[in-house]
């Protein structure tokens, strides 16, 4: 409890304590029982408190008035018992009031006269100012100059019937005047001033003064019951009729809360949001304040991610009970939470935060662009976490939304990456090649072409893979690829040794190095190259022993037999296995077809040599061609 209220409560109950506490009452009074007249005073006090305090806006005002009337009653009862006790009580009361006077408290005083029309016009404006900007250390008061003419003379205020100084509003600090309106010149000429709400706020700097006093009030109370002080201030703000002023004060309170220690801020923020989301606070005000809180956290989430994450989690827990009314704000909080989690490298939790956003909500209508951005970001986060299944689910949700060119391009890239991650290397290679042919930066095109090359190498041996290799080999851009030599060997169906794959294998991603299904422990790359070598052997031999085939494939004869049997069953290899003799019989080719293939290969090699010569010596090559023509 604040020391001011504790002292007041002790003073308010002084007579009952001294009258009923045996050691004290025996010393001060004749008996320790309350008399009838004292019970009558207490009854009268209760009636006065009920009628006088029924319109008090805050708990603090209610308690202040209660203590004041109780102390007056104590004074009367002490006087009835013994006037000396009353004098002693009055002295203690005076000392207590003097100590409670804080020189840092500002007072804005209106000097008025009942008969003055301008003073009557100012009354509702001044009451509104008091309601909007009143604090324990920024107080408002009114003084009737007709009742206190000496005070008006002290401050040089003319109270005559033709006075232009009524009303006068003055700002005091530590019993000294700081500023006033209207101003009076050297020759007592009164400057014109219009007493409007905005003019008074601007003239006395009430907004800045309120901010400074509010922050000071909150910080002073950190040593006491912060929740009680915060709740009292929230009630004070909720009583303001002006929505813009109320929102401004809520924002100041929020900034003060967020500038504290994390643990204290979490507790106070939860109290703040629970009060704000109560039905008694207008929906327009609470929505605006929550939106401003999201914007405030957005600027801090990168610098202090942990504080932002804790705050977002508190906000989601509080907003969940009124999700329908605050759906826009919940979406903003989830996006902010995802940013903070992504900054910490917690991609799965960040993706789940975005995935929880209901894109088909009736309350909030998302544009196609907004849907595409959120869903594609969700896919990206799942891909960073290497979760192909959830990435594919999120990708299917944004298929209809990603129709605009930038989103469509990103959708295609993520789709290729999902296929790659799921081990569907042929489909991924097709997507990557399509992306490499689309307009864009050359660097991105080459990245997609290189990804297509890697996926093609990892494809199981088949006619489709051969067609893809031919497409890559004949692409002029493939000359700049690091794995051009490997692609050429695979395209020409030459044998590839394991030691030639070491550098290529080191460049693969973790999911591309995993064991291939139905390969008895071989990695995807080893299985793909072994199947390729088996097809290359079928081009060189009509038949071969399993032992020699195992040597060429660099595997055990049993594994070579299993591989050949599987490829024959899947119709990727034409032939049969003689298990008794331990031989593999391949399909015999017609000599003319073999001759045609060799001529075609020779022509392609000659054409490749000509292209290289033309690239290195274009002038000589053009002159030689013209001479031969």
Half-sphere exposure of 307 (CA within 13 A, CB side): 19
* Best mean pLDDT range from 5-14, 124-133, 148-157: 148-157
| Selection from 142, 135, 110 nearest residue 58 by Cα | 135
Q: What is the pLDDT of residues 531-567, one digit of tens each?
A: 888 888 888 888 888 888 888 888 888 888 888 888 8
Q: Which residue has the higher pLDDT, 191 or 219?
A: 191
Mark whether 75 and 110 lie in a shared domain. no
- Residue 538 and residue 617 share a domain: no
Same-domain check for residues 421 and 348: yes
Does one domain contain both 295 and 411?
Answer: yes
Vertex 127, ends 122 and 131: CA angle to 5°?
A: 150
Predicted local distance difference test score (pLDDT) of residue 219: 47
pLDDT at residue 254 in the model: 76
At residue 262, the pLDDT reads 59
The answer on 334 and 450 residing in a single domain is: yes
Has residue 246 been placed in a domain? no
Helix, strand, or coil (residue 178) = strand
Task: Give the pLDDT of residue 169.
Answer: 92
Residue 406 belongs to a domain: yes
The yes-or-no verdict on residue 119 having pLDDT over 70 is yes
Same domain? For 25 and 61 the reply is: yes
**CATH number of the domain that 536 lies in?**
1.10.10.10
The confidence score (pLDDT) of residue 427 equals 92
Q: Per-residue pLDDT for 1 more than 50?
A: no
Average pLDDT, the chain: 80
Question: In this structure, is residue 598 part of a structural domain?
Answer: yes
622 domain residue, yes or no: yes
Decide which of 100, 117, 140 is a domain's last residue: 100
Domain assignment present for residue 408? The answer is yes
Q: 95-104, 121-130, 152-161, 604-613 — which is least confidently predicted?
A: 95-104
> Measured at the alpha carbon of residue 404, what is the angle toward residues 399 and 405, in degrees to the nearest 5?
110
User: Any idea what DSSP says for residue 184?
Assistant: B
Q: Are residues 448 and 303 in the same domain?
A: yes
pLDDT tens for each residue of 166-207: 899 998 887 788 888 888 877 778 888 888 888 888 888 877
What confidence score (pLDDT) does residue 532 get?
85
Q: What is the pLDDT of residue 110?
A: 92
Whether the per-residue pLDDT at 9 is higher than 80: the answer is no
The pLDDT value given to residue 416: 92
Helix (H) or strand (E) holding 284: helix 283-298
pLDDT of residue 222: 41
Which pLDDT score, from 0 to 100, does residue 417 have?
92
- Is pLDDT at 290 greater than 60 in this prediction? yes
Averaged over 87-102, what is the pLDDT?
Answer: 70
Cis peptide before 167 (omega within 30 of 0): yes
Better-predicted residue by pLDDT, 410 or 134: 410
Structural domain count, the chain: 5
pLDDT tens across 453-499, in order?
A: 999 988 888 888 888 888 888 888 888 888 888 888 888 888 888 88
Task: Give the model's confidence band at 335: pLDDT under 50 very low, under 70 low, under 90 confident, else very high.
Answer: confident
pLDDT, tens only, 437-466:
887 777 888 888 999 999 998 888 888 888
- pLDDT score at 224: 41
H runs (alpha helix) in 221-326: 226-238, 243-258, 262-276, 283-298, 305-319
- CATH no. for residue 139? 3.40.30.10
What are 523's two structure tokens?
């990695």
Tokens of 63: 């308690």
Same domain? 335 vs 351? yes
**What mean pLDDT comes out for the span 382-402?**
85
Q: Is residue 172 part of a domain?
A: yes
Q: Given 100, 130, 153, which residue is the final one in a domain?
A: 100
My answer on whether 404 and 441 are in the same domain is yes
pLDDT band with cut points at 50, 70 and 90 for residue 15: confident
Lowest mean pLDDT among 149-163, 304-318, 328-342, 372-386: 304-318
Together in a domain, 264 and 385: yes
In a domain, 19, yes or no: yes
Strand ordering across the sheet containing 583-586: 543-545, 583-586, 575-578
End-of-domain residue from the set 189, 208, 227:
208
- Give residue 608's domain range: 591-627
pLDDT in tens, 61-84: 667 777 777 888 888 888 888 888
Domain of 415, CATH number, reads 1.25.40.10
Same domain? 192 vs 268 = no
pLDDT of residue 629: 60
Which of residues 69 and 389 earns the better pLDDT score?
A: 389
CB count within 10 Å of CB 263 equals 9
Say whether both 90 and 172 belong to one domain: no
Going by C-alpha positions, the residue among 172, 182, 177 that lies closest to residue 140 is: 172
pLDDT confidence band for 590 (50 / 70 / 90): low
The rounded distance, in Å, linking the Cα atoms of 536 and 545 is: 15
């Amino acid at each position: 409890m604040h020391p001011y209220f504790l002292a007041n409560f002790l003073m308010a109950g002084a007579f009952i304590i001294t009258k009923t506490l045996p050691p004290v009452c025996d010393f001060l009074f004749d008996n320790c029982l309350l008399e009838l007249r004292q019970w009558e005073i207490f009854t009268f006090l209760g009636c006065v408190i009920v009628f006088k305090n029924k319109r008090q806006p805050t708990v603090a005002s209610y308690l202040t008035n209660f203590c004041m009337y109780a102390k007056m009653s104590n004074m009367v009862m002490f006087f009835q018992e013994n006037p000396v006790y009353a004098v002693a009580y009055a002295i203690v009361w005076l000392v207590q009031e003097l100590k409670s006077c804080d020189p840092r408290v500002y007072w804005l005083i209106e000097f008025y006269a009942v008969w003055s029309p301008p003073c009557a016009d100012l009354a509702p404006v001044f009451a509104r100012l008091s309601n909007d900007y009143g604090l324990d250390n920024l107080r408002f008061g009114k003084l009737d100059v007709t009742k206190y003419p000496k005070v008006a003379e002290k401050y040089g205020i003319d109270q005559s019937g033709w006075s232009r100084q009524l009303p006068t509003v003055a700002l005091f600090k530590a019993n000294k005047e700081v500023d006033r309106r209207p101003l009076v010149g050297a020759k007592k000429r009164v400057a014109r001033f219009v007493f409007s709400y905005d003019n008074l706020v601007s003239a006395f700097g009430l907004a800045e003064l309120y901010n400074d006093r509010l922050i000071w009030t909150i910080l002073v109370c950190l040593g006491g019951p912060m929740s009680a002080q915060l709740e009292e201030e929230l009630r004070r703000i909720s009583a303001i009729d002006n929505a813009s002023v109320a929102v401004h004060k809520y924002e100041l309170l929020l900034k003060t809360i967020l500038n504290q220690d994390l643990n204290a801020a979490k507790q106070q923020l939860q109290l703040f949001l629970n009060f704000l989301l109560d039905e008694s606070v207008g929906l327009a005000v609470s929505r605006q304040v929550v939106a401003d809180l999201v914007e405030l956290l957005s600027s801090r989430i990168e610098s202090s991610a942990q504080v932002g994450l804790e705050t977002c989690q508190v906000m989601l827990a509080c907003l969940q009970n009124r999700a329908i009314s605050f759906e826009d704000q919940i979406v903003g909080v989830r996006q902010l939470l995802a940013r903070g989690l992504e900054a910490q490298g917690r991609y799965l939790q960040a993706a789940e935060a975005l995935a929880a956003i209901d894109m088909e909500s009736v309350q909030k209508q998302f544009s196609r662009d907004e849907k595409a951005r959120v869903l594609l970001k969700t896919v990206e986060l799942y891909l960073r976490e290497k979760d192909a299944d959830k990435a594919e689910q999120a990708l299917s949700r944004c298929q209809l939304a990603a129709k605009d060119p930038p989103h469509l391009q990103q959708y295609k890239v993520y789709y290729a990456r999902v296929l790659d991650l799921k081990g569907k290397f042929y489909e991924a290679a097709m997507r990557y090649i399509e992306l490499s042919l689309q307009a864009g930066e050359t660097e991105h095109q080459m990245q997609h072409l290189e990804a297509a090359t890697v996926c093609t190498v990892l494809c199981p041996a088949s006619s489709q893979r051969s067609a893809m290799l031919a497409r890559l080999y004949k692409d002029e851009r493939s000359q700049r690829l690091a794995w051009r030599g490997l692609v050429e060997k695979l395209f020409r169906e030459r044998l590839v040794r394991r030691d030639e794959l070491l550098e290529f294998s080191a460049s693969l991603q973790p999911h591309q190095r995993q064991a291939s299904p139905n390969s008895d422990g071989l990695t995807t790359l080893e299985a793909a190259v072994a199947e390729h070598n088996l097809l290359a052997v079928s081009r060189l031999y009509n038949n071969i022993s399993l032992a020699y085939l195992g040597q060429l494939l660099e595997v055990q004869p049993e594994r070579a037999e299993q591989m050949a049997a599987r490829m024959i069953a899947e119709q990727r290899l034409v032939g049969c296995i003689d298990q008794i003799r331990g031989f593999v019989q391949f399909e015999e080719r017609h000599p003319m077809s073999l001759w045609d293939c060799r001529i075609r290969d020779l022509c392609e090699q000659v054409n490749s040599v000509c292209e290289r010569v033309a690239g290195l010596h274009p002038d000589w090559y053009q002159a030689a061609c013209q001479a031969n023509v």
